[in-house]
Each structure stands twice: as structure tokens, then as C-alpha cells.
Amino acid sequence: MKVLGIESSCDETGIAIYDSETGLLEDALYSQVDMHTEYGGVVPELASRDHIRRVLPLIRDVMVQADVTQKDIDAIAYTRGPGLIGALMVGSAIAKSIAFTWDVPVIGVHHMEGHLLAPMLEETPPEFPFVALLVSGGHTQLVSVKGVGQYDLLGESLDDAAGEAFDKTAMMLGLGYPGGPQVAALAERGVSGRFRFPRPMTDRPGLDFSFSGLKTFTLNTVQRQSVDGQVDEQTRADIARAFEDAVVDTLRIKCRRALRETNMKRLVIAGGVSANQHLREALGAMAMSEDATLYYARPAFCTDNGAMIAYAGCQRLLAGECDALDIRPMPRWPLETLTPVVMDGSL
């Protein structure tokens, strides 16, 4: 089955074609970063308008690259939510129009299920069951995953998501948007240990997170270190390093706790922040010491992309699911409410 995937939940238009028999055929991404940079974050209305401009030309490009025509596509998968409502409506309207015109089934995919399954596109995919750490701009969640659609929430952020904390820290350090990669790059030049940031909620039981206090701690540190409103270059790098160390350490402690509590030996990290090199190294070392294995996707499939939507949609379509054409986007949509995917009549 060849599935055309469309991702348009935020500021990236992602298109891909996934073939259930041969794997990923082609994927392409158009990032709106340059357009939103001058505003320091995503402007929802501009995002929607740009998706309208990009989706169809990108679909055409991907089909040409994959050497497929309309009659080769068996189904359409698009991001139904969560995300920005206007951006989601563009993907949903185009996906359903194409499906109607080509007379093929269409399915709306949960964006975080897409992230969660993205490591399945790699050469050594994880087997079920596993613990998943979802770390994106909007979500920080620990999930027990027994199969596609079988998700039990173990813990989540009570306030800011990890990616959001990276983005806000970037702003405080005078860096651009999206902040994560820029904070990580600055942190490379920083000295670990000059500043010690807290590891929120690690001194009490449970698997929930809180990152808003860390953000305030960063702001206070920046203010204390400023001379005439300026922070010198090395100090900025040292603050970035202290912030990154604190986030990575907090996530490491909670992931170790989740592995121990669930008795699982596989840890999957997904979402934009899982592209972070220090996080990968710290979790890899932790997993090894727990006799467990860490899995993640290539960096391009950690952040938003069409391939994960084509893949996740394909799994549900293969199990016989599809949506009616009048189904609406879901800007808010809890992951735990998804239906389990039943393959061959067994769970």
C-alpha cells in the first residue's frame, strides 16, 4: 500500500510517500522558519497561508521524485491534530479533496503518534513494548507503548514543554527561533558546572515534569550576569550549557525511573528535542547501565516531517481504518484517547 502523507500542524509543510512493502519512497519538507524569525515565533495566520502555497507544489515534487502517478497512490494520511487550527485545516482540506478526487481512502493522524512511530522508519526499529519519551515544542510526555494505539500516559509536563523551555531560553540569550538547535550550538562552547541549574521534580516520586521554573532560573541568571544590559559571550555559552545540562539530566532521571517502574528494556525518544546530541548521549549511557536499548529517528525525522504521518497513517489503514470526508481537525487531542490498532484480529 502506497500512502501519501501530509504534515501541516505548525510551521513546516512535510510531504512523503510511504510504501508498506518497500518502505519510504520519498519525502520533502518546506520550513517556514525564515518567515517567522522576525516575529520571534510562529505567527499562526502566516503559517496557514504559507501551507496553502506550499502543499500542492510539494506533493507534485515528491510524486515526481518517487516516480509515482495518481493511480499508484492507495490512500492519503494527514495530520488531524493537535496543532494550530488554521494550519491543520489546510492539510485536512487538501487531503480530503485529493482523496475525494482520486477516490481513495483518507485518514487523519495524531501528530504525536506520528512522532512516536518515527523511529520505526529507521534500519533497526524498536519492537513493542517500549517506554517512549515524547519531547517536542508542545509536549513532554512519558508513555508506555504496547502497540500502535496502545498508549498509557506515565507522566507529562505540568507546565511548559521541554522544547518550549529551549525556545524561551534562546530568546533570553538573544538567539533566534526555533531556539533548541541554537541553544544547543551555543552550549557546545559553554563550560559545564560554572552555573548549577535545578533538576525540577526529580527529588520526589512520580514521572511528571515541570520546566517553567527552569525558565525563570535562566532569566534570573541572565539578569544577574548582565553588565549594562549585556552578557559576555562566554557567560552566555555557560548559561546555555547549564540550562541544557539541567534539561538533559532531568529527562535522564525520569526516563530511568520509567524504565525501572515498567520493567521495560527499550526506550524510544521522539519529537524535536530528541535531535539533541547531549540528550541522545546521556540517555544512551543511562540505557546501557540499565541493560536497556535506546532508539531514535534520524534528526530530520525527530522534528516535524511528512514521513512519520505517512507511516502512522499506513499502520492504521492496513488495519482497516479510514475516516469519513466530513471529519474535522482536532487542535486539542489527547494521545491516550486513540484507538488500539488491531492487526490480524489479535492485539
Binding partner of residue 180 among Zn ion, ligand KG4, none, CB under 5 to 8 Å per kind?
ligand KG4
Nearer CB in complex with ligand KG4: 183/258: 183
Residues 265-284 that bind ligand KG4 (CB under 6 A): 271-273, 275-276
**Least CB distance from residue 244 to ligand KG4, whole Å?**
8
**Least CB distance from residue 97 to ligand KG4, whole Å?**
25
Q: Does 48 bind Zn ion (CB under 5 A)?
A: no
Residues 293-322 as x/- pattern, contact with Zn ion by CB under 5 A: -----------x------------------
**Least CB distance from residue 115 to Zn ion, whole Å?**
6
Identify which range of 55-63, 173-181, 282-290, 313-321 contacts ligand KG4 by CB under 6 A: 173-181
**Least CB distance from residue 344 to ligand KG4, whole Å?**
32
Among 18, 166, 195, 211, binds ligand KG4 (CB under 6 A): 166
Q: Does 136 bind ligand KG4 (CB under 6 A)?
A: yes
Nearer CB in complex with Zn ion: 136/169: 136
Q: Does 180 bind ligand KG4 (CB under 6 A)?
A: yes
Among 32, 92, 136, 274, binds Zn ion (CB under 5 A): 136
Identify which range of 78-86, 120-128, 135-143, 262-270 contacts Zn ion by CB under 5 A: 135-143
CA nearest to 217, candidates 246, 193, 191: 246
Pair 115, 136: CB distance under 8 Å? yes
Nearer CB in complex with ligand KG4: 8/276: 276
**Least CB distance from residue 150 to ligand KG4, whole Å?**
21
Secondary structure string (H, E, C) spanning the chain? CEEEEEECCCCEEEEEEEECCCEEEEEEEEECHHHHHCCCCCCHHHHHHHHHHHHHHHHHHHHHHHCCCHHHCCEEEEEEECCCHHHHHHHHHHHHHHHHHHCCCEEEEEHHHHHHHHHHHCCCCCCCCEEEEEECCCCEEEEEEEECCEEEEEEEECCCCHHHHHHHHHHHCCCCCCHHHHHHHHHHCCCCCCCCCCCCCCCCCCCCECCHHHHHHHHHHHHHHCECCECCHHHHHHHHHHHHHHHHHHHHHHHHHHHHHHCCCEEEEECHHHHCHHHHHHHHHHHHHCCCEEEECCHHHHCCCCHHHHHHHHHHHHCCCCCCCCCCCCCCCCHHHCCCCCECCEC
Q: Does 79 bind ligand KG4 (CB under 6 A)?
A: no
Place of cell 514521572: 207
Binding partner of residue 181 among ligand KG4, Zn ion, none, CB under 5 to 8 Å per kind?
ligand KG4
Q: Which residues bind Zn ion (CB under 5 A)?
A: 136, 304
Q: Which residues bind ligand KG4 (CB under 6 A)?
A: 10, 115, 136-138, 163-164, 166-167, 178-181, 184, 271-273, 275-276, 303-304
